[in-house]
């Protein structure tokens, strides 16, 4: 029958119990008394005794909650910017350098990720000269960015902060190995983890690993093809070059957009939140290569405005549902080193190979900095 709930609500099944007279049913909850009650994100109210005062409250409550979240988010972003400008953790490791604008993982769980990203993206897209020039100037100094590598060296030549952040490099700034069979790093960044995929699971950090099927949004068939393969996870700090390139020549077969959370992907968060990369928003790109199947996965993160690919542009469906797009009948072929996508603000790239006959070069280890174009793998002897 009916199970009593707080606030004058009962949980019911209208198909079995029927709907009591004068009661509005919403999300399988029934209101027993006239008036209304706020429950989570829904307003429940009866058909009788509904007045203008009730209507004002219905409008006022979500407005105040939204305003509260915006103010709270603004404070968090301000705190992050201050930390971003005033602290660096380069001295913590001789091989790893990144700017510390980290928000503690426990606080990240409470934050409105999508709202933060929307606000950050909006600011980064502004073309106000005073704003974008100040942001670019401060960012360049704090992150020791070598603008002599950039195609456009003058920071004032960029339309907005995102235009600067996704800047192109001069030809030859990232040389490739002469051996065409070597696999190269797709990005500038820091190696988080690398190795073999063991029993369909990928090592994340410390005691954490995650399921390959979860990374592929529950596609067990796709996961089974990579379960004995190879993986490398590369973290892009804010100061890194943020275009993503092809590790080897390949033909695009499928692109999958997976909505999700937007936790930070820095070392502290990856060590704290289990299955982080399988939780966050991501774009999975499946290629056919001379070595078999390859997946290049672009993982979103907090304050990442958007992800783009050269064949689809900005990848941000409004439906927030898993989206599959096949390219078998309209193939996109890219050579080794060709640009395939970019991040608007920092994140992580995961590269998977299905073939167990490949191996990573031994001199690369987790926490090592790496440049796009550096040889990272080859066929095993």
Matching residue, tokens 């499928």: 254
CB hemisphere CA count around 346 (13 angstroms):
21
Matching residue, tokens 């005062």: 53
Tell me how far CA of residue 257 lies from CA of 304, 318, 355, in angstroms. Answer: 15, 11, 24
Find the DSSP H helices in the chain. Answer: 14-17, 52-86, 105-108, 113-125, 129-142, 161-165, 212-215, 220-226, 267-270, 276-279
Question: Catalytic residue at 261?
Answer: no
- Which of 113, 237, 242, 245 is the catalytic position? 245
**How is residue 85 written in tokens?**
């400008």
Residue 4: how many CB atoms within 10 A of its CB? 9
**How is residue 22 written in tokens?**
């004068």
Burial of 317 (0-12, 13-18, 19+ CB in 10 A): exposed
Q: CB neighbours of 352 closer than 8 A, spacing ≥ 6?
A: 197, 226, 229, 230, 231, 294, 295, 297
Question: Catalytic residue at 319?
Answer: no
Strand-pair category, 3-5 with 9-11: antiparallel
Q: Is 37 helix (H, G, I), strand (E, B) or coil?
A: strand
Tell me how far CA of residue 131 lies from CA of 101, 160, 161, 346, in angstroms. Answer: 20, 9, 9, 20
**How is residue 239 written in tokens?**
């100061």
CA-derived radius of gyration, the chain: 24
CB hemisphere CA count around 33 (13 angstroms):
9
- Which of 97, 102, 188, 306 is the catalytic position? 188
Question: Catalytic residue at 347?
Answer: yes
Cα gap 182→188, rounded to integer Å: 17
The residues annotated as belonging to the active site are 188, 245, 347
């Amino acid at each position: 029958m009916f199970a009593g709930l707080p606030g004058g609500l009962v949980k019911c099944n209208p198909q079995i119990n029927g709907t009591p007279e004068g009661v509005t049913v919403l999300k399988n909850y029934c209101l027993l008394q006239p008036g209304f009650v706020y429950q989570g994100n829904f307003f429940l109210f009866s058909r009788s005794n509904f007045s203008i005062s009730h209507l004002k409250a219905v409008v006022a409550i979500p407005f105040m909650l939204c305003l509260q979240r915006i103010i709270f988010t603004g404070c968090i972003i301000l705190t992050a910017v201050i930390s971003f400008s005033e602290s660096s953790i380069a001295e913590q490791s001789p091989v790893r350098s990144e700017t510390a604008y980290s928000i503690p993982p426990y606080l990240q769980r409470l934050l409105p990720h999508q709202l933060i990203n929307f606000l950050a993206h909006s600011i980064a897209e502004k073309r106000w000269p005073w704003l974008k020039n100040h942001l670019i100037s401060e960012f360049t100094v704090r992150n020791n960015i070598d603008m002599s590598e950039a195609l456009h060296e003058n920071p004032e030549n960029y339309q907005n902060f995102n235009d600067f952040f996704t800047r192109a490099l001069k030809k030859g700034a990232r040389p490739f190995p002469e051996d065409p069979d070597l696999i190269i790093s797709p990005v500038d960044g820091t190696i988080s983890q690398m190795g073999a995929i063991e029993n369909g699971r990928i090592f994340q950090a410390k005691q954490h690993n995650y399921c390959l099927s979860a990374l592929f949004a529950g596609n067990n068939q796709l996961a089974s093809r990579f379960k004995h393969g190879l993986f490398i996870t590369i973290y892009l700090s804010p100061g890194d070059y943020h275009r993503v390139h092809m590790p080897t020549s390949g033909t695009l077969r499928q692109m999958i957009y997976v909505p999700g959370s937007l936790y930070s992907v820095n070392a502290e968060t990856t060590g704290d939140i289990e299955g982080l990369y399988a939780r966050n928003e991501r774009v999975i790109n499946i290629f056919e290569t001379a070595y078999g199947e390859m997946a290049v996965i672009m993982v979103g993160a907090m304050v990442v405005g958007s992800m783009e690919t050269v064949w689809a542009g900005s990848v941000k469906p409004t439906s927030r549902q898993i989206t599959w797009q096949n390219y078998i009948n309209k193939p996109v072929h890219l050579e080794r080193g060709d640009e395939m996508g970019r991040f608007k603000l920092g994140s992580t790239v995961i590269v998977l190979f299905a073939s167990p006959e490949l191996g990573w070069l031994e001199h690369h280890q987790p926490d090592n900095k790496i440049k796009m174009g550096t040889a990272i793998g080859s066929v095993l002897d």
